[in-house]
Amino acid sequence: GASATLLLDSFVERGPEGRLTTWSADAVKTGGGWRFTALKQLSSIDGLYRLTLEPAQFDIRNLTLEGTDLVLHMRSGTAHVARAAGGTTALVLRGKGELIFTPADEAERAQLRIFSGEPVLRTGFTEAFVRLNPADLAARVSDGALVARDSGADAGAHRRALAYFDQVAGKTYSLDLQDLSRERWSLVPAQGDMVAEVRTGKYGDLTYARSAGESEDISLFHRASRRNISVYASPAHLERRGRFYSEDDGREYDILDHDIDARLTPAREWIEGTARVRARVTSLAMSTMRLRLAESLVVRSIVSKEHGRLMHVRVIGQNNVIVTLPRPAQKDDLIELEVRYGGRVPSQLPDREVAAVTAQDFEPITIPPEPRWIYSNRSYWYPQAMVTDYATARLRITVPEPLDVVATGVQSGVPIAAPVAPGSAPARTFTFESGTPSRYLSLVVSRFATISSKAIGGGAPATLTVVSTPRQAARARATGEQAEKIFTYYRSLLGTAPYPKLTVVVSESELPGGHSPAYFVIVNQTLPTANVTWRADPVSFDSYPSFFLAHEIAHQWWGQAVSWKNYHEQWISEGFAQYFAALYAGEMNGPAALSGVMRQMRRWALDETGAGPIYLGYRLGHLEGDSRVFRALVYNKAAIVLHMLRRMAGDERFFAGLRRFYEQSLFEKAGTDDFRRVMEAETGLNLERFFERWIYGFGVPTIRVSHTVERNPDGTSAVVVTAQHQGPVYDLPITVEIELASGAVRQAVLVLTAAAGELRVPVEGRVRRVSVDSDSAALARFLR
C-alpha cells in the first residue's frame, strides 16, 4: 500500500517547563486508514520555562550582586524570585540601590565620561531584574543577603514586583513559538551569563549583559536612547580569543548563493518574496540555522529540498529566524532552503555606511524630492547570514510601473511585463545577475532615466552606466564624466577593478550624501530649493564638489571588495575611501588641493580625537548623537593615518603595499593587523607602535620643532631640522620644505620614530625659507 513520512513538531508543557521537538513519522495506508509504523525524534529544544514570579518574599540585607565590572548594591529592600530546574534564575530587587560599573579600558572609560561625566558609572536605582544561571547564584549574590520572610508576604509588595517583572521579563532570553504556544517562553542563561535590567533614577533603564557567546561579552545598554554605552571583551574573554577577532569566527555556515524573486509595492513599503539560499556548513555540526530577516517580515514557509517543510522560531525583538534542521548537518554539507516571506519593510534610512552630512539648520523645502526607496544592508529585506557574507546572486525584482530598479549585479535583458492581479497596476520585472561575490544585496527603486552607458577601456572590462531621476538629468551628465575619471584613476592605483559593472545613480534628497553597495553607487544631489546649512561637517569640502562621488566610488574597492572584520575595523572602508577621494583631489588639481583637503581633515581630527580611538568605529559620536565625531575620526583621521604611512614609507612602497593588501583581502574581511603585516612585509618597517598609537590610541603628540641653516667653508649649506616629542613617542613624518634664493623648492621628510630626531638636508646656495610640516601631513600639535 501507500506509505508516507511526516515531519511533526510538538510542544510539550509540563508545569512551568516546555520542550519543543521535531519528529519524523513513517505511516502506511491500511484498509482502515493511515497507521504509524515508526516514530523517531529528530531534534529538540529543551529547557524552556514559563517564568512565574513566586509569591514568597525575601528581605534584603546588605545585598551585593556581582558581574564582571559591575556591582549592584542594596542595603535593604525586598526581593522576589522565579525558578527553573536547579534553582533561582530570576530576581526582582526593589529598594534603594546603587549600580557601579567600572570598565578598565581607557576607550570605554572615555565613552562613560561622555555618557555620565565620569569614567566610571555610579548611580542610584530603585528596581532591578536579574537573569542568571541557577548554578551561579551563590557566587554572584553575597551570603545571607536574601532572608525569607517568616511573617508572610506583603501582597502589595508582590503586586509591585510583579508589575515590574511583567514589564521587563520578556526583554531577554524570550522566544516566540509562533503557532505552538501563545505564551512567553524563556531560556535559562548559560552558566556565567547574566542580564541585569536596572531602573535608575537618573538614566532610566540600563541593561547590563554578560554573554560568553559574543565576541565582546560585556555590554551596558541605555534603553531610552537605544544605544550601547559600553561593549567590550572581558579580560578572561580576551585571554581566550586574543585581541583580534572576526565577526565570522563564530559562524556556522557560509552562504554561497542567493536567488531571490521579490515583488515590491514601494508606496506601501511592502515586499513579498521567495528566496533560495545555498550554503555550506562550516561548523562541525549544525542543528539549527540562524538567518537574519527583518522582524516585520513574516515567514510563510521554509522548505529544504532534502527535508521538506522545516520548523522555525523567531526571537522577540530581533531580526532573526531560527530554522530547526531535522538532523544536524555536518561540516561541508550543502544546505538549500527556500524561504517564502512577506510584509512591511521600511526604506532604509542613512546609516553607518552612508556619507550623509548633518544638517545644522534644517528647514522644509518646497519641492519634494522624487520618491525613492532604498533596500540595503540595514533593511534585512531578504533572508541572509547573521553577518555580511560574500555570495553570488540572482535577483528578480518586480515593481509597479513606471518605477525602475537598480540592484546589485548586472542587469540581464530588458524589464519584462509581470503578471498582476486583475485591477492592479501594471508591473515589470527586472533581473540582475551578480557572478562576482558581494557582501550584501541592495536595490534602489525610483523613476530613472538612463543618461549614458559605456565600456571603460584600459583595464579589466568594465561598464559604467549613469542613471538619474528625471529632474537631475542635466546635472547627471557631468556627474557621469567625473565618475569615469575617478573610476579610471582608482583602477590605475590598484591595477584592477572588482566588479564588471558600475551604475551611478544620481538621485535627489534634502541632504548631500550617498551609499555604495557592490555594483552601484547612489549620490544625492541637493535640490536647489533645499535651505540647509550643512557645510560645518567633516566631509564637506567646499572647493571640491566631486568629493562625495569620489568617496562613494572608492567603496567599490574599499568596503565592498575588501571588507572589515568587525565594526572596530570600519576605517578599512571609510578611511581608505576618504583617502582615495583626497588622492583624487590631488590628481585632478595638484598637490596644493591634496594639502588643502588634508589640512581640513586634520583640523577635524584634532578637534574630535579626545572622543576615542579610530578602533571604536561607529561608537564614536554615537552616545552624543553626533555623527560628525565618527566622520572626523573614522573617515578623516584614518585618511591622515594612511597619508602619514605613505610619507614614511615612500610612494612606491606604500602603493605596492596597498595593491598587495587589496589582492590578498579581495572578497574577504580584513583588519588592522592584516594591513599592518602586509605593510611591514612591503616596507620593511616595524609598524607595531605606529598602529598602536594611531588606530588603538587616541592621543595626539605635541612636538617642538626648530631649524638652523649651517654654512660650510666650501660655500655649501645644510638645513638642520630638529624635532622633539613633549610626551609619549609617536611615529610620524614631518615634511620640510626648503626654498632657495634661486627660487628652487625642495622637500624632505623627517621621519620621527624616537623621542627626538634630526634631519640634515645639504643644499647648494642660499636658503630663503624653511617651512616645517609644510603639507599638513603630520597629525600633531607643533611648538615652534
Question: What's the maximum distance between 2 C-alpha atoms anywhere in the chain?
Answer: 120
Task: Give whichever of 94 and 551 is closer to Zn ion, judged by the CB atom.
Answer: 551
Q: Give the β-pairing of 501-509 and 520-526.
A: parallel
Residue 19 CB, shortest distance to Zn ion, in Å, is 48
Residue 577 CB, shortest distance to Zn ion, in Å, is 5
| Number of C-beta neighbours around residue 142 at 10 A | 14
Residue 376 CB, shortest distance to Zn ion, in Å, is 13
Residue 372 CB, shortest distance to Zn ion, in Å, is 19
Helix, strand or coil, per DSSP, at residue 309 = strand
Residue 247 CB, shortest distance to Zn ion, in Å, is 19
The verdict on 641 binding Zn ion (CB under 5 A) reads no
Segment interacting with Zn ion, rule: CB under 5 A, options 15-23, 178-186, 325-333, 571-579: 571-579
Task: Give whichever of 121 and 355 is closer to Zn ion, judged by the CB atom.
Answer: 355
DSSP 424: S
x/- letters, 48..87, toward Zn ion (CB under 5 A): ----------------------------------------
Cell of residue 584, nine digits: 583624487
By the 8 A CB rule, do 514 and 521 touch?
Answer: yes
Task: Give whichever of 101 and 558 is closer to Zn ion, judged by the CB atom.
Answer: 558
Segment interacting with Zn ion, rule: CB under 5 A, options 9-17, 108-116, 210-218, 573-581: 573-581
Please, which of residues 288-327 interact with Zn ion by CB under 5 A? none
By the 8 A CB rule, do 366 and 529 touch?
Answer: yes
Segment interacting with Zn ion, rule: CB under 5 A, options 37-45, 60-68, 299-307, 575-583: 575-583
Segment interacting with Zn ion, rule: CB under 5 A, options 330-338, 352-360, 477-485, 496-504: 352-360
Segment interacting with Zn ion, rule: CB under 5 A, options 349-357, 359-367, 401-409, 605-613: 349-357
Task: Give whichever of 556 and 735 is closer to Zn ion, judged by the CB atom.
Answer: 556
Query: Rounded to whole angstroms, how far apart are CA atoms 61 and 73?
Result: 10
Residue 185 CB, shortest distance to Zn ion, in Å, is 42
Segment interacting with Zn ion, rule: CB under 5 A, options 55-63, 354-362, 413-421, 672-680: 354-362
Residue 630 CB, shortest distance to Zn ion, in Å, is 11
Task: Give whichever of 577 and 734 is closer to Zn ion, judged by the CB atom.
Answer: 577
From 355, 357, 393, 582, residue interacting with Zn ion (rule: CB under 5 A): 355
Task: Give whichever of 172 and 524 is closer to Zn ion, judged by the CB atom.
Answer: 524
Q: Give the β-pairing of 462-468 and 501-509.
A: parallel
Residue 647 CB, shortest distance to Zn ion, in Å, is 24
Question: What number of chain residues touch Zn ion (CB under 5 A)?
Answer: 3
Cα distance between the two ends of the chain: 97
Task: Give whichever of 221 and 571 is closer to Zn ion, judged by the CB atom.
Answer: 571
Q: Which residue is nearest to Zn ion (CB)?
A: 355
Residue 355 CB, shortest distance to Zn ion, in Å, is 5
Task: Give whichever of 206 and 577 is closer to Zn ion, judged by the CB atom.
Answer: 577
Residue 631 CB, shortest distance to Zn ion, in Å, is 9
Residue 223 CB, shortest distance to Zn ion, in Å, is 30
Segment interacting with Zn ion, rule: CB under 5 A, options 54-62, 189-197, 485-493, 568-576: 568-576
Contacts 24+ apart (CB under 8 A), 737-746: 737/769, 737/770, 737/771, 737/774, 737/775, 738/763, 738/767, 738/769, 738/770, 738/771, 739/767, 739/768, 739/769, 739/770, 739/771, 740/764, 740/765, 740/766, 740/767, 740/768, 741/765, 741/766, 741/767, 741/768
Task: Give whichever of 355 and 427 is closer to Zn ion, judged by the CB atom.
Answer: 355
Query: Rounded to whole angstroms, how far apart are CA atoms 770 and 767?
Result: 8
Task: Give whichever of 252 and 574 is closer to Zn ion, judged by the CB atom.
Answer: 574
| Number of C-beta neighbours around residue 471 at 10 A | 18
Task: Give whichever of 199 and 555 is closer to Zn ion, judged by the CB atom.
Answer: 555
Task: Give whichever of 393 and 577 is closer to Zn ion, judged by the CB atom.
Answer: 577
Residue 552 CB, shortest distance to Zn ion, in Å, is 7
Please, which of residues 102-131 interact with Zn ion by CB under 5 A? none
Task: Give whichever of 72 and 577 is closer to Zn ion, judged by the CB atom.
Answer: 577
DSSP 283: S
Query: Rounded to whole angstroms, how far apart are CA atoms 220 and 229?
Result: 6
Query: Rounded to whole angstroms, how far apart are CA atoms 367 and 693?
Result: 48
Task: Give whichever of 307 and 551 is closer to Zn ion, judged by the CB atom.
Answer: 551
Query: Rounded to whole angstroms, how far apart are CA atoms 718 and 498?
Result: 48
Residue 677 CB, shortest distance to Zn ion, in Å, is 25
Segment interacting with Zn ion, rule: CB under 5 A, options 25-33, 207-215, 348-356, 698-706: 348-356
Task: Give whichever of 517 and 612 is closer to Zn ion, judged by the CB atom.
Answer: 517
Residue 101 belongs to what H/E stretch? strand 87-101
Task: Give whichever of 200 and 507 is closer to Zn ion, judged by the CB atom.
Answer: 507
Backbone angles phi, psi at 379, to 5 degrees: -90, -30
Please, which of residues 451-510 interact with Zn ion by CB under 5 A? none
Query: Rounded to whole angstroms, how far apart are CA atoms 397 and 689?
Result: 50
Residue 656 belongs to what H/E stretch? helix 651-665
Residue 540 CB, shortest distance to Zn ion, in Å, is 14
Residue 194 CB, shortest distance to Zn ion, in Å, is 37
Segment interacting with Zn ion, rule: CB under 5 A, options 266-274, 449-457, 567-575, 757-765: 567-575
Segment interacting with Zn ion, rule: CB under 5 A, options 422-430, 572-580, 615-623, 750-758: 572-580
The count of residues in the chain is: 784
Contacts for 350 with CB less than 8 Å, ≥ 6 apart: 356, 513, 515
Query: Rounded to whole angstroms, how far apart are CA atoms 353 and 377?
Result: 9
Q: What are residue 781's DSSP bridge partners?
A: 702
Is the omega angle on the peptide bond into residue 402 within 30 degrees of 0, that is, cis?
yes
The CA angle 152-158-162, to the nearest 5 degrees, is: 155
Contacts for 98 with CB less than 8 Å, ≥ 6 apart: 72, 73, 74, 122, 123, 124, 125
Residue 275 CB, shortest distance to Zn ion, in Å, is 28
Query: Rounded to whole angstroms, how far apart are CA atoms 684 and 479?
Result: 41
By the 8 A CB rule, do 121 and 101 touch?
Answer: yes
Q: Is 95 left (phi over 0), alpha (psi -120 to 50) or beta?
A: left
Q: What are the residues binding Zn ion (CB under 5 A)?
A: 355, 574, 577
